[in-house]
Structure 1
Amino acid sequence: MPLQQQTSPWSEMTIKMLDGYSGTLQAGGVLSVNQTEFTSNLLLLAVGGEGELAMNGEVCRIGASLACHIAKGTPFTLTCGSDELYYMVITYEAFALDEALHPMPSYRKHPLQISFIQNTVIHTQWVQQAEKIIAKWRRGEGLEIFHANALLQNIIYELIIEYERGQGGAESDRVDVVASYIASHYRRNLELQELADLAGCSIRQLQRQFKQEKRLGPMEYISKLRLENASRMLQYTDASIGEIADRIGYRDMYYFSRVFKKQYGVSPLRYRLDHASKTDEEYTKTLLRNRTASSYESPQGTVICHMRGEYQVKRPPQRIAVLDMQYADHLLAFGLSPAGSVGSGSVSIHFPSSIRDRLRNTELLGTYEYPDLAAVEQLSPDLIICTEVHDRHFERLSRIAPVLMFKRNESWQTILGVFGELTGKRAEAKIILADYYRRTALLSEELAPVLAGQSVALIRPLDSLIRVHSAAHRTGAVLYRDLGLPIPLFVEDTSDTAYHISVDRLPAVQASHYFLLSNRTMQGVISATEQQVLDMLDHHADQHIHCVDAVTWIGCYGPIGINSIVDQIEQALLTGL
């Protein structure tokens, strides 16, 4: 091959952006992408929070931030820890202008064909660049998209430079390149000569080096990948044997069956049936963990369905311990006090003002993120209610009392109905819901003429960033769904709960009213980012800032807390208080 092609992998390389978005993982949340879910490269930046990224068989702990380049076809799982994790994703294609369908014929693997992680405090300009790229992409204009591609190329360049500095400039050998190519193209009818040309060596050299490193020849390696994929499809899909054979590159179903039986000892059909019988129990557990909170009537009485199974209500529980403040709110709405409850905060414990005075006879059980399990044991409750974030404590909690586990982001209306069944307050639950819907419907009618031509934004300052919430967020749903307030165009067309932007990009939101979720109650002082936001918005006479307590607006999703939020919205928009 020409020397220039071997030494200049960037000479004809170009990139094309495909999509860009931002999102939030709640505590315990998971973003998982398998091998078949995307066919493009992906740039992932995680900002704030903490968690883990699993990729290529390795688990990387995420601290303050992370930047990651993920080559197409590489499965990964991003898991949020005890606090929310904010991320941005940009997908793109990379190809040579003259050979768009084929990788570069070089035994040095191109940097855009590998996945790597920079688990350091990422440069602030990378975050800002990513935000700018996503914003320009969402506008959908020709010149803006052109600029987004240019900015993306720059951020990828800087990320690769950082990575290669850490690697000492080491190059992957030809075996890695061929193995990577096989992993992406094993469904095709690959020839040895094609693989040797890719590696830049003879067939004999490739076979010898490949077998020395992989313990298999190139063609055996192809067969191995095909059969591994076939086994997964047999286990987890209902595709027919013929469909599976065709998808993995075997045009003859009977030949595929013979090859499969030689490898696994049984026919594909027998393999599927055997695996199904072994995984019934695991499948049942998976269904339970994804179950929505609900209840039903049985001959023995009411049954509560939750993430860890079912709970038979023999009689209403009298001493309930709750490991999330929203559940304390629900019980108080029925006139019931929890025996014990967690609060929020780290240095000191806080409760929303709407429920604080009603918890005088309630024992403190630590915080949502760090529950005091010894205090729970000493409390001797007859029922414990928690969220999926407390899954790691489930066995210990179960030894204290029966445990109900619900998804933390379950709607408060659903939880209210379940709690009504649990406590014998079914009628009260219906009344509470009816009153709320009547109230919000009337207030919506009253606000409509007041806000004509104006939009309302829900924002939360973080460390160097601002979260702009959408209608998919639980508090956003109160503003935009229940009250019908006009949402800014900036976040109108998204299924994510929020966008994350730098402070200097706040004017792009273009809202008339900003509900600013403040952490000053927990922190005792106003943060630098919050002060920066206030200084910026105070200069505009047509923009109104309404500072509200984040503990109430985010930490207490029960009827009392939600109605308190509606009270504050009404006061801010109708009376200007």
Structure 2
Amino acid sequence: MPLREQASLWSDLAIKTLDVSSGTVPPGGVLSETELTTNLLLLAGGGQGRLVMNGEDCRIQAFFACHAVKGSAFTLTAGAESIHYTKITYKAVQMAEAVDERYGQRNHPLDHSFVHRLELPAGLHQTAEEIEAKWGRGEGLERFHVNALLQGMLYELMMEVERGRGGAGADMVDIVTAYIAGHYRQDLELKKLAALAGCSPRQLQRRFKQEKLLGPMEYVIRLRMESAERMLRHTDAPISEIAERTGYRDMYYFSRAFKKVYGVPPQLYRRSATVGTEALSAYVGLNDRFAASYESLQGPVICHMRGEYGVTAAPRRIAVLDVQYADHLLALNVAPAGSVGTGSSASLQFPQYIRDRLKATEMTGSYEYPDLEAVERLQPDLIVCTEVHAPHYERLNRIAPTLMFRRNESWQTILRLFGIITGKQSRAEAIIADYHRRTALLSGELAAVLAGQSVALIRPRESLVRVHTASHRTGAVLYRDLGLPAPLFVADTSDTAYHIPVDRLPAVHADHYFLLSSERVQDEISATEQSTRVILHAEEQPQIYAVDAATWIGCYGPTGINYIVDQVEGVLLA
């Protein structure tokens, strides 16, 4: 065919989307079309299956595309695993001078049915999700954009087909990438991905990082977050539903994972997509500033997430919007003028282990929902908050100079800074030195008693159990400061916890479990916690110690940390 005519086949072609839908073919289920009335593009991902199109039988696996032209028939049968699909029907119209001339008379590539295993599925998969979201809105401009997106998708697909991709044997990274694209909403483990690629987990990790610049599980998270981001921007689905649809049954963990990638919580991200970037302005510049101090000619300067604070005199009335900061001040023998409490909005209270020392302290709401009017009535001369309070920062700073620290900042760093602010540096250093001395001695005693027996830190949450790592602040106390042996299940990781179904808890295989219980807050044991206890008691006699989650998770001042150490010592050396 002459180049000019060949070019015209594409440049004069218009794509019109007719319908978009998605669904799941369950194990052993069937999706079929008997006689298509228009062209169809089917993008699917999942386990192995069988596709019969126009009488030709094809085994499919991982992620594939099926392009079927008008008049075709096909039957897709899922194997042992579900197959997720997006189905797009469309028509292509040749816009050349012969307006009524059907483009198929020129043997156009889009006039052929074919099945193609995708080597690079992530981009097409993401575009398909965006097409479905925009199509669902039913708006004229959105539908116009759908046609452009579909045209781009067809271009990418045809380029793959013309280059013959997928014909040669794919290497381990290609196989795993394709599998992840079709399964990232499900529970995935590195060991399972390595078995799929026919290599060891370490080999897969190394090869994957060489080619993708990130590990396989990080790639899973990236696809999940990109999918969640698109749903936040293009749909009205509740955040709990978005979390579940992207593979997170724990909405709290989903929110933390999303914020880690995009810098803000999902709800705020959605709001910013609606009203513009103005809603995000409160968070701009927060990610690169850590708590620190330095000496200037005028005196000490505290560096925080919103700038710098020059210490000229010790403040007399300090309001704190996180209970851990009340703990820090009390450790320095300074009572805050006001502090947020813990618990539900109907029953806010100060933590029991410092409650008696906060009798003269005013309650100022909760950490998530501070009472700004109450803070203002205190007439403080200094306010201390975390990045969670960024949307309130301007108002707080008008009330009094406001310091903003990362909530997960080291308690020792914060205590030293509070020592500088209150003129109690010597006491702060003494508290830190005493803690290191105590944990160093205690770690030796614990090592002798445990004799290599492992200790796990777990928290039942909804339908999942969090298995905390040394990257978690309480995990760091157990595994780093006290040197407790972690189970093999808890590998080195930058994440603070693994999230597993309750029935997989035996895989942790620890000898001792610190079970973070919410019974004190809820006045009852949750169904997940009950199941956790039943499963653990059925194991080969592990030791289980139920401890208060509110204290072990939320109270990170020196008093709270030493309280945790007290409990560890009390049960393991009993």
Give TM-score, length-normalised by structure 2: 0.56
For 1:413 and 1:551, locate their aligned partners in 2 and report how far apart those are by CA, in whole Å.
Answer: 20
For 2:287 and 2:306, locate their aligned partners in 1 and report how far apart those are by CA, in whole Å.
Answer: 6
Deviation at 1:136, TM superposition (A): 2.8
Q: Deviation above 4 Å: which 4+ runs of structure 1?
A: 6-14, 95-98, 132-135, 138-141, 143-146, 285-289
Q: Sequence identity of aligned pairs in percent? A: 57
Deviation at 1:133, TM superposition (A): 4.3
Distance 1:551 1:7, change over 3 A: closer
What amino acid maps onto 2:411 in structure 1? W
- Whether the 8 Å contact between 1:344 and 1:368 is mirrored in structure 2 is yes
Residue number in structure 2 paired with 1:436: 435
Residue number in structure 1 paired with 2:426: 427
For 2:166 and 2:197, locate their aligned partners in 1 and report how far apart those are by CA, in whole Å.
Answer: 27
What amino acid maps onto 1:99 in structure 2? G
Matches within 5 A, 1:27-42: 41=122
Asked if residue 99 in structure 1 is aligned to residue 164 in structure 2, the reply is: yes
What amino acid maps onto 1:432 in structure 2? I
Residue number in structure 1 paired with 2:407: 408
Asked if residue 130 in structure 1 is aligned to residue 128 in structure 2, the reply is: no
- Whether the 8 Å contact between 2:511 and 2:543 is mirrored in structure 1 is yes
- Whether the 8 Å contact between 2:325 and 2:557 is mirrored in structure 1 is yes
For 1:397 and 1:530, locate their aligned partners in 2 and report how far apart those are by CA, in whole Å.
Answer: 39
Cα offsets for 1:487-511 (capped at 9, x unmatched): 1111213211001111001111111
Deviation at 1:415, TM superposition (A): 0.5
For 1:331 and 1:539, locate their aligned partners in 2 and report how far apart those are by CA, in whole Å.
Answer: 44
- Whether the 8 Å contact between 1:351 and 1:551 is mirrored in structure 2 is no
For 1:500 and 1:485, locate their aligned partners in 2 and report how far apart those are by CA, in whole Å.
Answer: 21
Residue number in structure 1 paired with 2:354: 355
- The match for 1:343 among 313, 338, 341 is 341
Q: Give the 3-state SS of the residue equivalent to 2:451 in structure 1.
A: coil
- Whether the 8 Å contact between 1:412 and 1:557 is mirrored in structure 2 is yes
- Whether the 8 Å contact between 2:519 and 2:525 is mirrored in structure 1 is yes
Cα offsets for 1:380-428 (capped at 9, x unmatched): 1111000000000011111111100001111101101111111101111
Residue number in structure 1 paired with 2:62: 15
- Whether the 8 Å contact between 2:286 and 2:387 is mirrored in structure 1 is no
Residue number in structure 2 paired with 1:446: 445
Equivalenced residue count is 360
Residue number in structure 2 paired with 1:327: 325
- Whether the 8 Å contact between 1:472 and 1:496 is mirrored in structure 2 is yes
The structure having more radius of gyration, on CA atoms, is 2
For 1:496 and 1:339, locate their aligned partners in 2 and report how far apart those are by CA, in whole Å.
Answer: 36
Matches within 5 A, 1:259-298: 289-298=287-296
For 1:519 and 1:301, locate their aligned partners in 2 and report how far apart those are by CA, in whole Å.
Answer: 45
- Whether the 8 Å contact between 1:331 and 1:338 is mirrored in structure 2 is yes
Distance 1:451 1:299, change over 3 A: same
Residue number in structure 2 paired with 1:417: 416
Residue number in structure 2 paired with 1:219: none
What amino acid maps onto 1:130 in structure 2? Q
What amino acid maps onto 2:508 in structure 1? V
Cα offsets for 1:474-524 (capped at 9, x unmatched): 000000111111111112132110011110011111111111111111111
Asked if residue 531 in structure 1 is aligned to residue 530 in structure 2, the reply is: yes
Distance 1:385 1:452, change over 3 A: same
For 2:568 and 2:123, locate their aligned partners in 1 and report how far apart those are by CA, in whole Å.
Answer: 40
- Whether the 8 Å contact between 2:194 and 2:200 is mirrored in structure 1 is no
Deviation at 1:467, TM superposition (A): 0.7
Asked if residue 512 in structure 1 is aligned to residue 534 in structure 2, the reply is: no
Cα offsets for 1:50-92 (capped at 9, x unmatched): xxxx999x99xxxxxxxxxxxxxx9xxxxxxxxxxxxxxxxxx
For 1:350 and 1:464, locate their aligned partners in 2 and report how far apart those are by CA, in whole Å.
Answer: 28
For 1:42 and 1:445, locate their aligned partners in 2 and report how far apart those are by CA, in whole Å.
Answer: 53
Residue number in structure 2 paired with 1:243: none
Deviation at 1:440, TM superposition (A): 0.4
Residue number in structure 1 paired with 2:459: 460
- Whether the 8 Å contact between 2:455 and 2:485 is mirrored in structure 1 is yes
Residue number in structure 2 paired with 1:299: 297
Indicate the RMSD between aligned Cα atoms, in angstroms.
4.2
- Whether the 8 Å contact between 1:288 and 1:309 is mirrored in structure 2 is no
- Whether the 8 Å contact between 2:470 and 2:492 is mirrored in structure 1 is no
Deviation at 1:376, TM superposition (A): 0.5
Matches within 5 A, 1:137-536: 137=193, 142=198, 289-346=287-344, 347-536=346-535
The one of the two structures with greater contact order (alpha-carbon pairs below 8 A, sep at least 6) is: 1
Q: Give the 3-state SS of the residue equivalent to 1:420 in structure 2.
A: helix
For 2:165 and 2:570, locate their aligned partners in 1 and report how far apart those are by CA, in whole Å.
Answer: 59
Deviation at 1:7, TM superposition (A): 5.8
For 1:483 and 1:396, locate their aligned partners in 2 and report how far apart those are by CA, in whole Å.
Answer: 42
Give TM-score, length-normalised by structure 1: 0.56
Deviation at 1:473, TM superposition (A): 0.4
- Whether the 8 Å contact between 2:318 and 2:336 is mirrored in structure 1 is yes
Cα offsets for 1:266-298 (capped at 9, x unmatched): xxxxxxxxxxxxxxxx99x96565211011111
What amino acid maps onto 1:345 in structure 2? G
Residue number in structure 2 paired with 1:224: none
- Whether the 8 Å contact between 1:321 and 1:381 is mirrored in structure 2 is yes
Distance 1:336 1:140, change over 3 A: farther
- Whether the 8 Å contact between 1:382 and 1:401 is mirrored in structure 2 is yes
